[in-house]
A and B are shown apart, each in its own frame.
Chain A
């Protein structure tokens, strides 16, 4: 098995004043070198928490259990010091969700990029090439972050994440607020990394984006992965009723919303969380389903 990242029984809970939020539940997945895994789901399903849990960036009221092995390092248990010195920015790069707030306003793109390159023992002169790879003109590198448009800032944070040449890149909604051409460009940059043998974990609510570049897709619903299969199969013949309903909501398909609401993460049902909205649900669904298609009545059986 050639997995770069192996997540085993990962759970994340947040203690709030009057409730416990179950943001990630018994999550298992693996990412191979050269694989682009897209984690998709609606806002609030826990997909962003997964990304932050892998990087040890959760707030203090969070409890993480289980394992997440990156090669031989267990990201859940190795401690902050090891994460800071060996993992974040070195073995795992992060393309953050809001580029505008992720950039130091007092440094130009070139300075930021050169600093990052030097920090990782690489030649600062590579800045131009890396920026070009992310789709940023050399002249734009001399601007300060506040002089950049949203799209340019997005390409700059992507370039910064690429600067350390990390074997695993986590992209957390990297295309929010971008135009379609920019979305496509950003996705293509991610795709190229995988084609060169690195791995990418793409977190997105944009199903079209996932369809464009992903090798495998993990659909998250109410803190669990409900379907984890090759991208082509997911988009062609969805196996989980939730995946099917979510795809049906796309404007080039039925454009039909899923009836009902997802459950609150503070009060998850014991069985299948989708059962209350599912036309195929029966008594069996009161027990939690498992497997790559977490459903007692999948639409297709492989």
Chain B
């Protein structure tokens, strides 16, 4: 049981940014990943999230090799991996209210959502007043809380955080970390933390892997 990238190389339009990287996230553990900008950290997250096809190597999810990406992966597998992106603004549909943003993955898979959304909104600290607003009317910190709730809504086995707290103030960052840690205590969720902040990784992650620029 694990989410693993085996010898993954990947890039965009022939330009390879990731070379033969192997990384494993076990259930319940928090893996830190650090590296300079341009070292392909975000690309690795996209490969692990089954959003980007690697040029070489492959991803296994709980022992099953996944050879497809995006919609070709069955929905039930996709929802086992949650992603928290760096920019909450880019990662939320500007037309939806925060409630709809959190509820959308459940609606998309035809599951009841009201109770789950209320529970998660409470845990990430979003008040009823904020939940009715659209992204442009809330701060980055508030929007990232909604994105965290959305990432957890399917109870994913693995959560990938791509510089997800870099643009947040210290208090919101600590809160996001606390919610994720709490979720790990409730059920064995594996977490990948991509960040360039060594202090943060030392404090939050169980172990830290490095990726170097080629």
Contact = CB atoms under 8 A, between A and B. Distances in A.
Interface of A: 41-44, 149-151, 176-182, 205, 207-208, 245-247, 249-252, 255-258, 261, 264
Given A149-B37, A176-B167, A251 B127 contact: no
Interface stretch (B8-16, B20-28, B71-79, B198-206): B198-206
A245 B141 contact: no
A150 B38 CA distance: 10
Contact of A180 (B129, B140, B198): B198
A255 B203 contact: yes
A42 B172 contact: yes
A256 B139 contact: no
Nearest to A178: B37
B174 A43 contact: no
B186 interface: no
B17 to A, nearest CB: 12
Contact of A179 (B36, B170, B200, B202): B36
16 contacts: A42-B141, A43-B141, A44-B139, A149-B38, A151-B37, A177-B167, A180-B196, A205-B168, A205-B170, A208-B199, A246-B169, A250-B170, A250-B199, A251-B177, A251-B202, A251-B203
Contact of B197 (A247, A251, A256): A251
A182 B168 CA distance: 18
Contacts of A255: 174, 177, 203-204
A245 B140 CA distance: 20
A107 to B, nearest CB: 24
Nearest to B39: A179
Interface SS of chain B: helix, strand, loop or mixed? helix
B172 A251 contact: no
Interface string B158-194: 0000000011111111110110000000000000000
Interface of B: 36-38, 86, 125, 127, 129, 139-142, 166-175, 177-178, 196-200, 202-204
A262 B178 CA distance: 19
B141 A44 contact: yes
Given A41-B169, A43-B169, A249 B174 contact: yes
Contact of A257 (B166, B167, B172, B197): B172
Given A43-B141, A44-B139, A177-B166, A245 B171 contact: yes
A178 B139 CA distance: 20
Contacts of A258: 171
A95 to B, nearest CB: 17
* 10 closest Cβ pairs, A-B complex: A257-B175, A42-B169, A44-B139, A249-B170, A251-B203, A249-B174, A257-B174, A249-B171, A43-B139, A179-B196
B18 to A, nearest CB: 16
A204 to B, nearest CB: 10
A181 B36 contact: yes
A239 B38 CA distance: 41
The interface centre, meaning the residue of B127, B168, B199, B202 with most chain A CB atoms within 10 A of its CB, is: B199
The interface centre, meaning the residue of B86, B140, B168, B170 with most chain A CB atoms within 10 A of its CB, is: B170
A44 B168 CA distance: 11
A258 to B, nearest CB: 4
Nearest to A150: B37
B12 to A, nearest CB: 14
Contact of B125 (A176, A180, A261): A261
Given A176-B167, A245-B171, A261-B127, 10 more contacts: A43-B139, A149-B38, A177-B167, A182-B37, A250-B170, A251-B173, A251-B202, A251-B204, A257-B172, A258-B171
